[in-house]
Amino acid sequence: MEQKLKLQTAFGCQLSLKVVTDDIFAVWWDSKFDHQADAEIIFKHLKKIRQDCLQNLGMEDPPNPSAGFYYNVYIHHGEQDSFPVEWGNGQGTDKYQLPFLTLPVGVHTSESNLHHEGFHIFQYQANSSGFAYKGDSQWYVEASAQWYMCQNQPQEINAFVEAGAIGANPHLSLWHSFSNQAEGDPTDWLYQVRQYGMHTYLYYLTNVAKVSPDLITNGFYLGTDLSPQEYHYQQIGADHLRNFFSDWAAHNTGNLDYLTPEQITRAELEVKNVADPNNLHPYACSYDNPQQVKGWIYPPEAFKPRGWAYNVIRVQNCSSGTYSFELKGDLAGSEGAVSHFEGRIVVGSETQKLYTKINMIDATSGQSTVRVANNCSELFLVIASVPEHFSGTQTYGYQAKIEIDLPTSQ
């Protein structure tokens, strides 16, 4: 460091604590424990994260160095040390109005945890009111930190452990988080963890759609009042972003096939272990066979897609033949926002998934035809609601039709 930084802690007496420093960081722990070796691991990761965030991702240091002090990182042991018992895993602000990081023993040297929490350090000085940790932008602070973690550990089996929450309730807006749910929304794991699982969308944008990674992060420091979702719409472009979102929805429906098989299995296991089965709503409508599909299909009121959300209509045990799809969306949402829809068709067999776009005639209507072979086990119509409206919980209604032309028997 060119600048000489000073030690300062708001927690405990320096005489009863151990502390070591490197770069802008000071790692503290209760002197009854030995974390010297652990501190070196923490330094290694946080210094690398800092360099990446400042040099490559358009982010800035926390306020501590400019105030003349180290950024404090505390390794804590719950009730066994002198630090506050209520401390969890994450960033806080002390009585000096400076941020600090608390790392519980057990995850304090976890590379995944350090990437997530370390990234939060460099979000702290964000000057964009639209990216604030509240309301319809709160989701992005957590989703982007999870995105940063999986960018650095893309093969880690637990990198996408929350991914199952997305497909479980795809009718929820991409900005659904802790504090902006609609009246009557459950608050179980599936709904509350969803903002962490939205890193699958950001990962898809950068790693599949090839959006520049700095576009995920630089909005924090542009002084913009645009929300992250609106900023992406402006920077990436309406048509491109709508296509990327709809393709992501289709590949989620195709069993998250942009992830590794091990990551998919791990995400499925997490849903099985901790999700409330009463809150699993992956399909707006589901049919056991094509003969059950008759006339126009309307989504249940409770599961109509919200803004930047999607519905899935599933048809199982498909016979070979030609399937025609038609989509007619309402012109406006439930609170008057102008609608815009995109559609995708996913045809699944035991060995592969085939993806087709609905040919949109205008912003709310479209149609397409696909041929299905004998080895098809099921097909899905994915209806993405992607309006030029980026807040709230209003819903966007539609009707869809699936008609089957079976081949004539020889």
pLDDT attached to residue 351: 76
What is the rounded distance in angstroms from the CA atom of residue 104 to the CA atom of residue 252? 33
| Separation between Cα atoms, residue 353 and residue 365, nearest integer Å | 25
> Which residue, 125, 159, 182, sits at the end of a domain?
125
Q: Residue 336's domain is classified under what CATH number?
A: 2.60.120.1050
Tell me the CA distances in angstroms from 180 to 174, 200, 326, 330, one per residue in order.
12, 20, 33, 24
Helix, coil or strand: residue 90? strand
**Boundary residue ending a domain (93, 125, 157):** 125
In this prediction, the residues of the chain whose per-residue pLDDT falls under 70 are: 1-3, 407-410
Residue 307, C-beta contacts closer than 8 angstroms, at least 6 positions apart: 173, 333, 337, 385, 386, 387, 389, 390, 391, 392, 394, 396
Residue 194 tokens read as 């969803």
The number of domains in the chain is 2
CATH of the domain at 79: 3.40.30.160
Rounded distance between C-alpha atoms, residue 208 and residue 221, angstroms: 25
Q: At which of 65, 95, 125 does a domain end? A: 125
Helix (H) or strand (E) holding 17: strand 17-22
pLDDT at 12: 86
Is the pTM here over 0.85, yes or no? yes
319 domain residue, yes or no:
yes
Q: What's residue 410's pLDDT?
A: 39
372 lies in some domain? yes
In this structure, is residue 141 part of a structural domain? no
228 found inside a domain: no
Query: Is position 162 within any domain?
Result: no
- Residue 317: both structure tokens together: 């045990």
For 145, the 3-state DSSP assignment is helix
Structural domain harbouring 362: 283-410
Distance of CA 215 to the CA centre of its chain: 15
Three-class DSSP category at 191: helix
Cα–Cα distance between 175 and 160 in angstroms, integer? Answer: 18
- Rounded to 5 degrees, φ, ψ at 45 are -75, -45
Residue 133 lies in a domain: no
Residue 114 within any structural domain of the chain: yes
Give the residue from 68, 108, 60 showing the smallest Cα distance to 88: 108
Give the pLDDT score at 1. Answer: 43
Task: Report how far residue 344's alpha carbon sits from residue 325's, in angstroms, rounded to the nearest whole number.
Answer: 10
Cα-trace Rg, the chain: 24
In sequence order, the β-bridge partners of residue 90 are: 102
Q: Is 189 inside any structural domain?
A: no
DSSP 338: B
